[in-house]
Copies of this chain bind each other. A is one copy, B any other.
Amino acid sequence: MHGALPPPRTPLDPAFLERLRERFGRDLHQSASMLHQHGANEAHFDVVLPDAVVFARSTEDVVDLVKLCVAAGVPIVPFGAGTSIEGNAVPVRGGVSVNLGEMNQIVAVSPEDFDCTVQAGCRREQLNEHLRDTGLFFPIDPGANATIGGMASTRASGTNAVRYGTMREAVLSLKVVTPDGKVITTARRARKSAAGYDLTRLYVGSEGTLGIITEVTLRLHPIPETISAAVCGFETLEGAVTTVVQSIQSGVPLARVEILDDMQIRAVNAWSKLALPEVTTLFFEFHGSPGSVAEQVEIVGMLAAENGGGEFAWSNLPEERAKLWKARHEAYYAAVALRPGAVGWATDVCVPISRLPECITETKRDLAAASLPATILGHVGDGNFHVIFAMDPDSAEEQAEVQAINARLVARALAMDGTCTGEHGIGLGKQDWLVEELGDAVDVMRVLKRALDPRDLFNPGKIFAL
């Protein structure tokens, strides 16, 4: 299920380690706790330790590390905040984990151009904190306080994507250390360009397999004059999804629209001390001028009423809104907490929005028959949703059951012309499905990988078996 098994490991050559120590001194780590931190993951994948960890403090550090690793034939795996959930940063073939978390400088902000450049280890919350006085913000919000480099590497998106796009749209340019140790800049700072192959988009979502991103130039957006948030419960799941489809069709520029099933609402109520009716619920956010927001709200309210929605419960004060979205962001932990002692097992798919009601309904039927608790929540405006299982970590039967349900979920999404992952990436967990999804196109990816990383040293074992 989880891609090719790692080949037998050989210990690092002491001479190589000595060169690392000479070059990186106290930024080279081999303590058990440090190795464990970089070999673990927030999901259910086995811990695989790197042989060493190096903290990079500059692009030059990364260049030198790349050259040393490539010369010695040692794998090199970039590590940001460790919040990915398909095992994307697990060093399955050992080698060096390069931690970019200290490269967290905000290099430049150009408010007039609506862009900024940050080092790869900058976290998204840190960036928005920094931007506050400029009147601009960086909208991509995957929930976790991930690094911008990690978000670029996994093509992250999240709750705002229906309005502001994903990392695919947000990244203007990247600074990348290539496998041959060169530093390239993939694009200039112009908002658009027709100059050659789109290397920016090639590296966005490549999960560290083609080189190491050290800087990211991002598009920013003006903080809306008015932000209004609401929740609305629905009689049926179809009614909730239809409301969203019709809203988009009416041209309403929804900023956020999240679906939480009854089970997820139950979990959120318990975890975040809320008292929402335990039915399928939409969380909305509207951005715009006061007039535009009022208009959006009117249209969506009318459509919700026509589709079996209840009253809108409004959160117009920043504190109330923050509470609502905090509850949404903690939905993963809330779902896991449904069952004491459980670990989380999360998956995501994305389908054309017309197929979403059917996809979610069939999935819900599967979950209802399962022996363990599971919730559904998702970015309904994009056709993207998650299933979170609260799994007994010691039960092989439950693991097999979850894998079977996940396999049916992905097969269902693919049959609907959807994708096996809307925003988590392939990592270790979705490799077989990628081939099912894209067939011969995966061979083209392999050709690109072999051309750019002929010795397979950059995050080897991820996305596809070579």
Contact = CB atoms under 8 A, between A and B. Distances in A.
Contacts of A464: 196
A243 interface: no
Contacts of A404: none
B113 A352 contact: yes
A351 interface: yes
A155 interface: yes
A114 interface: yes
Interface string A171-195: 0000000100011111111111111
Contact of A439 (B135, B184, B434): B184
Contact of A419 (B111, B184, B187, B384): B187
Q: How large is the interface on A (under 10, 10 to 19, 20 to 34, 35 or more residues)?
A: 35 or more
A186 B442 CA distance: 9
A403 interface: no
A329 interface: no
A382 interface: yes
A437 interface: yes
A425 B194 contact: yes
Contacts of A262: none
Contacts of A251: 222, 224-225, 288-289
Nearest to A211: B444
A194 B444 contact: no
Nearest to A249: B222
A448 interface: yes
Interface stretch (A31-39, A54-62, A198-206): A198-206
Q: How many copies does the complex hold?
A: 2
Contacts of A178: 440, 444
A330 interface: no
A417 interface: yes
A354 interface: yes
Contacts of A434: 195-196
Contacts of A443: 182
A351 B291 CA distance: 33
Contacts of A114: 248-249, 353
Contacts of A294: 291
Contacts of A425: 194-195
Contact of A190 (B187, B192, B205, B417): B417
B168 A353 contact: no
B189 A417 contact: yes
Given A222-B250, A354-B110, A423-B192, A291 B288 contact: no
A12 interface: no
B197 A414 contact: no
Interface in A54-99: none
A236 to B, nearest CB: 18
B447 A196 contact: no
Given A190-B422, A419-B187, A440-B182, A196 B463 contact: yes
Nearest to A424: B194
A193 B197 CA distance: 20
Contacts of A414: 188
Interface string A154-180: 111100010001101100000000100
Interface string A409-421: 0000110011111
Closest A-B pairs by Cβ, 8 of them: A201-B201, A451-B451, A193-B419, A112-B354, A190-B350, A184-B441, A113-B352, A189-B417
Given A156-B194, A448-B448, 18 more contacts: A110-B352, A112-B249, A113-B352, A114-B249, A114-B353, A183-B440, A185-B441, A188-B418, A189-B352, A190-B384, A190-B422, A191-B352, A196-B434, A196-B463, A197-B206, A197-B463, A222-B250, A447-B451
